[in-house]
Chains A and B, each alone.
Chain A
Amino acid sequence: QLQLQESGPGLVKPSETLSLTCTVSGGSISSGSFYWGWIRQPPGKGLEWIGNIYYSGITYYNPSLKSRVTMSVDTSKNQFSLKLTSVTAADTAVYFCARQERGYSYDRPFDYWGQGTLVTVSS
């Protein structure tokens, strides 16, 4: 059974960089048909897609965050990561990692999700 697990600091100071890692187990991050994504949810609010990454390093970012986001992948560790720079209180949220299937002739919504990790931006 595929499992995803987020890890990283739960508290980040304003103007600093938020860094999170998602570890994938029960399957290979290098499987050809899957993209790996980050989604966040501010307390009491809805879901916001941050970006997707393919195992080859191809990335897609939300334009609203693109100037501050970098995603990377480490296939040797079966992990992918998120960096969000210059954070403010508005970046306080639960951050989820998830998998999306993208085939040659079809796509799918996110089907496997991590449990989420709360990141608070505060001094």
Chain B
Amino acid sequence: DIQMTQSPSSLSASVGDRVTITCRASQGISNDLGWFQQQPGKAPKPLIYAASSLQSGVPSKFSGSGSGTDFTLTISSLQPEDFATYYCQQYNSYPITFGQGTRLEIK
């Protein structure tokens, strides 16, 4: 199985800040990586596919990069609705695996 490790596990930031979350795969996955945002009690919302492509309707304040084993999600100009938990997901090979999540909190 491919293990996905996110860092940090939690992050405190202020409205207006720019933050970066990292996801590392235990082996190379090309660019077969997605990012999701999850609000409490809701289903995950897809943000990014193919490591750096925005899903339809997602604002450009979200950006992704990386290939192989190391990936990042950057969120610029944080707004109150951006404070949530973020997950990465690899779909390069079965079993599909997710990172453990990064909780983004308001400072």
Interface residues of chain A, those whose CB is within 8 Å of chain B, are: 37, 46-49, 52, 60-64, 96, 100, 106-111, 113-116
Contacts and interface: CB of A to CB of B under 8 A. Distances in A.
Interface of B: 1, 32-34, 36, 42-46, 49-50, 55, 87, 89, 91-92, 94-101
A110 B87 contact: no
B97 A49 contact: yes
A109 B43 CA distance: 14
The 7 closest A-B pairs by CB, nearest first: A109-B34, A113-B43, A49-B96, A47-B98, A62-B95, A46-B101, A60-B94
A68 B44 CA distance: 25
B96 A108 contact: no
A111 B55 CA distance: 8
A62 B97 CA distance: 9
Contacts of A111: 46, 49, 55
